[in-house]
Amino acid sequence: MFVMSLFVSAASAQMIQLPEPGVNFKRKTGTRIGVTDIEINWNSPGVKGREGNIWGTSVAWYGFSVLGYGSYVESPWRAGANESTNISFSTDVTINGKKLPAGNYGFFIALYPDSCTLIFNRSTKGWGSYFYRSDLDVLRVTTHQQKDLKESRERLDYTLSNQTDRSVEVALEWEKWRIPFKVEVDLVNTTLASIRMQLSGAMGFDPPSLEAAAAWCLKNQVNYQEALGWINVVTDPNLGRVSTFSALSTKAGLLSKLNQQAESDKVMQAAMENASAAELHQYGRQLLGEKKFKEAMEVFEKNYKKNKGAWPTNVGMMRGYSAMGDLKKALEHGKLALAQAPNEENKKAVEQAIKTLESGKAL
């Protein structure tokens, strides 16, 4: 009797997992935009020969309808089958330009012949929309469907397209309708919040993590003072003790942004002393991009002398002289650089630069 009761207790604690017999497949999709995770979970019904009899019918009705079976509320379409469709966002987002806080939402759609109202609702555990409560709506936003698509989609699907680092287009596609909406994130502020959260733990003692965070702030022109604190930890002789070009140049850049130019120049000089030929070359290119031609030329000359004309210092001299208007000198260094080119890609780039200079044009 004891052995039997033990088996019964174990069996009741966990059900065996078997394939579901239903005809509506459980599906999920998702993506990440910056640091924002998006996930959609839904049950996917089939058209099953009902082309032309999906939209505006009892399958996917227009507006709000009392569904019966013990439900006496006017309900929108559940945007799928069986359980409520769920969509979650790990940070705040906007949907077609309207703000939506981070969270997991039941997703419903009020369909109309020429528009759709997307509904994001706090209830995520319902069976479809039978017990829909409008007072739990967090956002309603309008979108416009695309109808009469060339090919009919048999299974209801959610697709992700036109993704950038700040947005993605989500679309419900079924039969010959496509219902799209744009999800956008505040990339800078969500990333900064994520950085701060990560650095509040063990990563706050990790010099590479602190350096990466400070460099990101400099690149994105945000949070200079806090970022300077991070890079100071990295470069402090008693803490991180990092004196690489990347770390020191990041510190110099942040000091400059905070109008501490004399200190910035001092730190940048130290950075250049620790730089490789490639790092100095890229710094010179950066200065050219900022139209600081004289400063760029000084960096290229320093690199050329320090590394005794090794690759890619002649490329830098070529670009520096070109920016200063001395095409003859630029061409001389271009020909020296051509003989040093380490691979075919660099060789072709230098050859093109030489052709430009020989035509009398600056690079």
Report residue 309 as tokens: 């004309």
Q: Which string of DSSP letters, residue by residue, matches 199-232?
A: HTTGGGG-HHHHHHHHHHHHHTT--HHHHHHHHH
Q: Is the peptide bond before 312 cis (omega within 30 degrees of 0)?
A: yes
C-alpha to C-alpha distances, 144 to 95, 111, 179, nearest whole angstrom: 13, 10, 7
Q: Is residue 213 domain-shared with residue 172, that is, in the same domain? A: no
Q: How far apart, in whole angstroms, are the C-alpha atoms of residue 292 and residue 287?
A: 5
User: Are 236 and 288 within one domain?
Assistant: yes
**88 confidence band (pLDDT: 50, 70, 90):** very high
Inter-residue contact 126 to 84 (CB < 8 Å)? yes
Does 215 share its domain with 350? yes
Residue 117 phi/psi, 5-degree rounding, is: -105, 115
Q: 46-83 pLDDT, tens per residue?
A: 999 999 999 999 999 999 999 988 888 999 999 999 99
Q: Which residues contact 84 (CB under 8 A, 6 or more apart)?
A: 78, 106, 107, 108, 123, 124, 125, 126, 127, 128, 129
Task: Tell me whether residue 2 is in a domain.
Answer: no
First to last CA, the chain: 91
Say if 297 falls within a structural domain.
yes
Residue type, 240: G
Cα(202)–Cα(193) distance, rounded to whole angstroms? 16
Query: Is residue 145 domain-shared with residue 162, that is, in the same domain?
Result: yes
160 and 201 share a domain? no
Q: Average pLDDT of the chain?
A: 94
Whether 363 is in a domain gets the answer: no
Strands 167-175 and 177-184: antiparallel
CATH label of the domain that carries residue 350: 1.25.40.10
Is residue 166 one of the residues assigned to a domain? yes
Per-residue confidence (pLDDT) for residue 271, from 0 to 100: 97
Q: Same domain for 177 and 203? A: no
Domain assignment of residue 324, yes or no: yes
- Does 1 have pLDDT greater than 60? no
Please say if the pLDDT value at position 341 is more than 90.
yes
Residue 110 sits in the same domain as residue 259? no
pLDDT given at position 13:
59
- Of the pLDDT bands very low, low, confident and very high (cuts 50, 70, 90), residue 357 is very high
The answer as to whether 7 is a domain residue is no
Say how far apart CA 230 and CA 235 lie, in whole Å.
9
CB atoms within 10 A of CB 10: 9
**Same domain flag for 176 and 194:** no
Find, among 29, 20, 48, the residue nearest to 174 by Cα.
48
Phi, psi at 2, each rounded to 5°: -65, -45
What 8-state DSSP symbol labels residue 152?
-
How far, in Å, CA of 309 to CA of 166, rounded?
43
DSSP string, 272-314: HHT--HHHHHHHHHHHHHTT-HHHHHHHHHHHHHHTTT-TTHH
In terms of domains, do 52 and 169 share one?
Answer: yes
3 found inside a domain: no
Residue 271 lies in a domain: yes
In the prediction, which pLDDT does 9 show? 52
Residue 124: which domain range? Answer: 20-181
b/e burial code for range 67-100 (CB count within 10 A of at least 16 → b): beeebeeebbbbbbbbbbbbbbbbbbbbbbeeeb
pLDDT at 70: 82
Structural domains in the chain (count): 2
The pLDDT assigned to 71 comes to 84
Both 116 and 255 in a single domain?
Answer: no
Given pLDDT bands bounded at 50, 70 and 90, which one contains residue 240? confident
Q: State the chain's maximal CA–CA distance in angstroms.
A: 101
Contact between residue 28 and residue 84 where contact means Cβ atoms under 8 Å apart: no
Q: Is the pLDDT of residue 20 over 90?
A: no
